[in-house]
Amino acid sequence: MRVLIIDDDTDLCALLREFLEREGFQADFEHEGPAGLARALEEEHALVILDVMLPGIDGFEVLRRLRRKSRVPVLMLTARGDDVDRIVGLDLGADDYLPKPFNPRELAARMRAILRRVEMRKAAPAPLIEVDGVELDPSTREVRNQGRPVEVTTFEFDILETLMRAAGRVVSRDELMERLYNRKATPLDRSVDMHISHLRRKLESPGKTRIKTVRGAGYQFSRSPEEAAE
């Protein structure tokens, strides 16, 4: 499994090369933003691990430019405790984040979780999901609201798919985090709430609140009265 790591910490990269090889990964490395972006676009990798702080152009700009042309999964490395880095990265289309410093075993676990999700999506074409005028296509990862295309990030799509598949049922924050990222939400991890807020704005329609917050319980994607009666 070939992955690309874009990080200017050469000592860390040397340690990761040895560790990831033992874990079954073939790791390529770049240490500057422009070179990392070029390699991510020109070569085929199963996953890109991208640090925020890079010379040349930072990790956010690398991700922004990468997402214009590629849907390769991206795991961002962020400064510990910096919620802004995590939120911006996820909003730009990162698949997950990991604060520095980190345990290499956790990095490998996060990598495998992302790759499992990718393989599940490729395994078989999934049928279109439609609830109350919102259409979601798991195969193409496209979303439409009342027939109009809706631009969503990777993280927003995964949350929306989970909620729409459970339409009418309350899904907890812990359930969302465990199903999507194989870990529980922490009191300080508000990324799910932030992306729910973004989805609400993108799916707004007159007189409709499609994603409801159930205080102390989680979130619910509402079905139309006709659908609820079926």
Domains parsed from the chain with CATH numbers = 2-123 (3.40.50.2300), 129-229 (1.10.10.10)
| Mean pLDDT for the stretch of residues 182-207 | 76
Residue 115: CA count within 13 A, CB half-sphere: 15
One-letter amino acid identity for 93?
G
Which residues contact residue 227 at a Cβ distance below 8 angstroms, ignoring those fewer than 6 apart? Answer: 131, 132, 167, 168
CB 72 within 8 A of CB 63: no
CB 134 within 8 A of CB 202: no
Which residue, chain included where needed, has tokens 């279109």? 128
Q: Is the predicted pLDDT of residue 187 greater than 60, yes or no?
A: no
CB 3 within 8 A of CB 48: yes
CB 177 within 8 A of CB 189: yes
Which residue, chain included where needed, has tokens 């880095």? 85
100-150 confidence digits (pLDDT tens) = 989 999 999 999 988 988 887 666 567 899 998 999 998 888 999 989 999
Instruction: Decide which of 184 and 87 is more confident.
Output: 87
Q: Is the predicted pLDDT of residue 216 greater than 70, yes or no?
A: yes
CB 111 within 8 A of CB 25: yes
51-64 confidence digits (pLDDT tens) = 999 999 999 999 99
Which residue, chain included where needed, has tokens 């798919």? 161
Whether the CA torsion 180, 62, 64, 48 is positive or negative: it is negative
